[in-house]
Structure 1
């Protein structure tokens, strides 16, 4: 049986963790990017689909290219962050299922059904995006997930060589600058949005 995490860990992952709009000058090393992936890939996805495809923008050139497709506010965040990550989704994830889910012929569930693949890719890559945020926080890094960009242009610029891969969302990554965060927005109590059936 698993042991509940202590309050220090829960605070770092959830209660005191924040979405950052700016970062310190402390760099993010490639080993840290790989460590994030090694954690987030362990999170569950349906039939181990693992449809997320990540591009880690670490150079000024790649961040500037990405920023050119974002709203003005988000563009500044992308340029300033040590790293910005494009979380994409592979609609052709099913091609990898014989290797990733060898227990049964899961590939046949999706062959010829683009609508099902798109829904599954979006759902499960979104899960993996959440795992990315938690993995980064667990490793002492901070994130700034965002919308507010032209997904079609991002796809053309970054995923043109990967047919079937589309952008889900993007996130900045680094060591958060406390001066860049707003007062925490309200979080509702259980009764407001939950029912026990």
Structure 2
């Protein structure tokens, strides 16, 4: 065996994990999401910038505001999921660097003084954190339904009107429901994806 994770953990996080399309009505608690965050906050980011922000959509009013911006095929499952999270990049992440990085003053001036550079770096690193978030949801024994099929500009205006955040992904979260999973699609083999130089 070349992996440190036992087979059960491999199956939970990777081998048997699928994108869920339906969910049971069992609620997802704040404590569960806090436990997920306490794991995934350790995802690597450049200069420890930690630009991912998570907006939990719980209320019926917030849910209806979100659903209207989802693509047609994603509306029913987003309406029915026990919890939905909007994952976004904080475009002002550099303001929190003094708490996170001893070299913050030099970094802010050298790398993050321009908005375009902040957005490029923040988006890349928040996307990396988003992948960890999905694995963290799985680690909690929950299913994740990540979706890119939504009107990003509409969601940003609806939820981040001040322009300091941009949505990356919407993730439905909960226990899988009936017929939650579609058949596993093929993946590239090692030889197709990996090159040694």
State TM-score, norm by structure 1. Answer: 0.93
Aligned to 1:51: 51
Aligned to 1:157: 158
Partners of 2:42 and 2:112 lie apart in 1 by: 25
Give the root-mean-square deviation of aligned CA atoms: 1.4
1:12 aligns with 2:21: no
Stretches of 4+ aligned residues off by more than 3 angstroms? none
Structure 1: any 5+ residue segments left out of the alignment? none
Give yes or no for contact 1:94–1:110 (8 Å, CA) kept in 2: no
Further displaced range: 45-54 or 96-105: 96-105
The alpha-carbon deviation at position 176 of structure 1 amounts to 1.1
Give yes or no for contact 1:82–1:174 (8 Å, CA) kept in 2: yes
1:58-97 equivalences in 2 (<5 Å): 58-97=58-97
Further displaced range: 16-25 or 96-105: 96-105
Partners of 1:103 and 1:110 lie apart in 2 by: 11
Give yes or no for contact 1:98–1:107 (8 Å, CA) kept in 2: no
The alpha-carbon deviation at position 107 of structure 1 amounts to 1.8
Partners of 1:178 and 1:11 lie apart in 2 by: 20
Partners of 1:17 and 1:107 lie apart in 2 by: 39
Structure 2: any 5+ residue segments left out of the alignment? none
State TM-score, norm by structure 2. Answer: 0.93
The alpha-carbon deviation at position 103 of structure 1 amounts to 4.0
Partners of 1:164 and 1:29 lie apart in 2 by: 27
Aligned to 1:40: 40
The alpha-carbon deviation at position 92 of structure 1 amounts to 1.6
Give yes or no for contact 1:98–1:106 (8 Å, CA) kept in 2: no
